[in-house]
C-alpha cells in the first residue's frame, strides 16, 4: 500500500500523528508543498490512500478518474468542499473522516482569536508599520480605535458569536445579519439584528463568518461594498468565494473602502503575482485562522488513526456529499 499525505505545509504530519504501525505495512509519503492542479494526477498515480486537510487539495472528477490505484480518501474533518463525492462513489472510492480521539480541541477559539488579531492588524496598520520600522522609518498612518465603533457581523454562528464577545470587550457596538438570523439568538448574544443593507451602511468594520453554499457565493459584492463607509474595513476569515474578489480589488484600488484583512481567497495558495498582493490597504495571511498546534495535532492524529483502522479492516465514518459542510 502507498499512502499520500498532501499539503503538510508545516511538516508536522508524521510527528503529530502515530504512523509507526502504518509504516510497517505501507509506504507513507508526505508532500510539504502544494501540488499544482496540472501536476496532481501525475504525483498521485501510484497511491492507494490519499489524506487531505480540509480544502487544501482539489480532488475533482477529472483528477479522481485518472487515479486507477486510489481506494480511499481520508479527510481531516467534515468541513470539506474540494472532493467530488459523486465521482468517488462511482469509482467505489471510500471517503473517510479522520478518526480523532475524544475531547480533542475545537478550532472555534483558534479561528476567532486569529480573526480578531487580523482585524486589529488591519485597522491599526500593524504589518505595514513593522515593515516601515525595519526600513528605518518611524511614524506611520493613524489607525482606527475600536471603542465606540460599530462591528457588523455577517453570519452569527459559533464563530460570529465568539467575535461578538470580543467586540463587546473592546466596547464596540455590534450588529449582525444573515439570511436566517434568529432575532432571539442575536439578542441573547447582545447583538442587534439588522437587515443586510443597514449592516454594510452603518458598520465601521464588517467581519464575515458565513456558511459557504451555492446561494452564499458572492454574498458580498459590488453593491455591498459600495454601501460601506469610505473609512470602513472588511475582514474575511471564512471562505474566499463569499466575497466577489474582483469587486473587492476594485473597491480597494479606488479607496472606496479604507482597507481589508483577508485570510481566505478564491484560489489557494494565492499565486505570487495575484493583484491582491499589490494593494497597500490589504492585510493578507495564508489561511492561518485554524492553524494552531492543538488543532493540527488533532487533525493528524485523527488522519493517522483512520488510515490505521482502514488497513486493519475496521469500520469508519464515511462522508457523503450531503454531509460535507461548507464553513
Clarify whether residues 40 and 124 are in a common domain: no
Q: Does the structure show a pLDDT above 90 at 102?
A: no
Looking at residue 247, its pLDDT comes to 98
Burial of 192 (0-12, 13-18, 19+ CB in 10 A): middle
Clarify whether residues 314 and 175 are in a common domain: no
Clarify whether residues 128 and 202 are in a common domain: yes
Q: Does the structure show a pLDDT above 50 at 46?
A: yes
Clarify whether residues 164 and 24 are in a common domain: no
Q: Does the structure show a pLDDT above 60 at 325?
A: no
Residue 280 has a CB neighbour count (10 Å cut-off) of 9
Say which residues have a Cβ less than 8 Å from residue 325's Cβ, sequence separation at least 6: 78, 79, 211
Catalytic residue among 94, 268, 274, 297: 268
- State the pLDDT confidence band at 28, using cuts at 50, 70 and 90: very high
| Average pLDDT in the chain | 92
Q: Which three cell numbers stand for residue 256?
A: 472606496
Clarify whether residues 229 and 132 are in a common domain: yes
- State the pLDDT confidence band at 211, using cuts at 50, 70 and 90: confident
Q: What is the mean pLDDT of residues 28-57?
A: 94
Clarify whether residues 157 and 60 are in a common domain: no
Q: Residues of the chain with pLDDT > 70: what percent? A: 94
Clarify whether residues 269 and 238 are in a common domain: yes
pLDDT tens-digit series, residues 314-324: 876 676 544 33
Looking at residue 290, its pLDDT comes to 92
Looking at residue 9, its pLDDT comes to 95
Clarify whether residues 34 and 129 are in a common domain: no
pLDDT tens-digit series, residues 160-200: 999 999 999 999 999 999 999 988 999 999 999 999 999 99
Our answer to whether residue 268 is catalytic in this structure is yes
Q: Does the structure show a pLDDT above 90 at 16?
A: yes
C-alpha dist (Å) from residue 312 to 26, 170, 307: 12, 52, 9
Clarify whether residues 173 and 78 are in a common domain: no
Our answer to whether residue 239 is catalytic in this structure is yes
Q: What is the mean pLDDT of residues 187-215?
A: 95
Catalytic residue among 54, 125, 209, 239: 239
Which CATH number does the domain housing residue 42 bear? 3.40.50.720
Looking at residue 323, its pLDDT comes to 39
pLDDT tens-digit series, residues 279-312: 999 999 999 999 999 999 999 999 999 999 999 9
DSSP result, 105-141: PPSHHHHHHHHHHHHHHHHTTHHHHHHHHHTT-----
Catalytic residue among 124, 209, 287, 308: 287
Clarify whether residues 200 and 84 are in a common domain: no
- State the pLDDT confidence band at 105, using cuts at 50, 70 and 90: low
Full domain range(s) for residue 43 = 2-104+293-323
Number of folded domains that form the chain: 2
Clarify whether residues 41 and 58 are in a common domain: yes
Clarify whether residues 71 and 98 are in a common domain: yes
Q: Does the structure show a pLDDT above 80 at 56?
A: yes
pLDDT tens-digit series, residues 260-271: 999 999 999 999
Q: Does the structure show a pLDDT above 60 at 326?
A: no
Q: Which three cell numbers stand for residue 149?
A: 465603533
Amino acid at each position: 500500500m502507498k499512502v499520500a499525505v498532501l499539503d503538510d505545509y508545516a511538516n508536522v504530519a508524521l510527528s503529530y500523528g502515530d504512523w509507526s504501525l502504518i509504516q510497517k505495512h505501507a509506504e507513507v509519503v508526505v508532500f510539504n508543498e502544494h501540488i499544482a492542479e496540472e501536476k496532481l494526477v501525475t504525483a498521485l498515480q501510484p497511491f492507494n490512500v490519499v489524506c487531505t486537510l480540509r480544502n487544501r487539495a482539489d480532488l475533482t472528477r477529472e483528477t479522481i478518474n485518472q487515479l486507477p490505484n486510489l481506494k480511499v480518501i481520508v479527510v481531516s474533518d467534515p468541513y470539506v468542499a474540494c472532493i467530488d463525492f459523486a465521482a468517488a462513489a462511482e469509482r467505489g472510492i471510500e471517503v473517510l473522516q479522520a478518526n480523532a480521539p475524544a475531547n480533542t480541541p475545537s478550532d472555534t477559539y483558534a479561528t476567532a482569536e486569529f480573526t480578531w488579531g487580523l482585524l486589529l492588524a488591519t485597522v491599526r496598520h500593524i504589518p505595514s508599520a513593522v515593515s516601515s520600522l525595519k526600513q528605518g522609518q518611524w511614524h506611520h498612518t493613524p489607525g482606527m480605535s475600536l471603542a465606540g465603533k460599530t462591528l457588523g457581523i455577517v453570519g452569527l454562528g459559533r464563530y460570529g458569536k465568539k467575535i461578538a464577545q470580543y467586540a463587546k470587550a473592546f466596547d464596540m457596538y455590534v450588529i449582525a445579519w444573515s439570511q436566517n438570523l434568529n432575532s432571539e439568538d442575536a439578542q441573547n448574544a447582545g447583538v442587534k439584528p439588522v437587515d443586510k443593507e443597514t449592516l454594510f451602511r452603518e458598520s465601521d468594520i464588517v467581519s464575515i463568518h458565513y456558511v459557504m453554499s451555492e446561494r452564499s457565493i458572492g454574498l458580498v459584492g459590488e453593491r455591498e461594498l459600495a454601501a460601506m463607509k469610505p473609512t470602513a474595513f472588511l475582514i474575511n476569515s471564512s471562505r474566499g468565494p463569499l466575497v466577489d474578489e474582483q469587486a473587492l480589488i476594485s473597491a480597494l484600488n479606488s479607496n472606496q473602502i479604507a482597507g481589508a484583512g483577508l485570510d481566505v481567497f478564491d484560489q489557494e495558495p494565492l499565486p505570487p503575482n495575484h493583484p491582491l498582493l499589490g494593494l497597500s490597504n490589504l492585510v493578507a495571511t495564508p489561511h492561518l485562522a485554524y492553524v494552531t498546534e492543538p488543532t493540527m495535532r488533532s487533525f493528524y492524529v485523527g488522519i493517522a488513526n483512520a488510515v490505521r483502522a482502514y488497513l486493519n479492516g475496521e469500520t469508519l465514518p464515511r462522508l457523503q456529499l450531503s454531509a460535507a459542510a461548507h464553513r
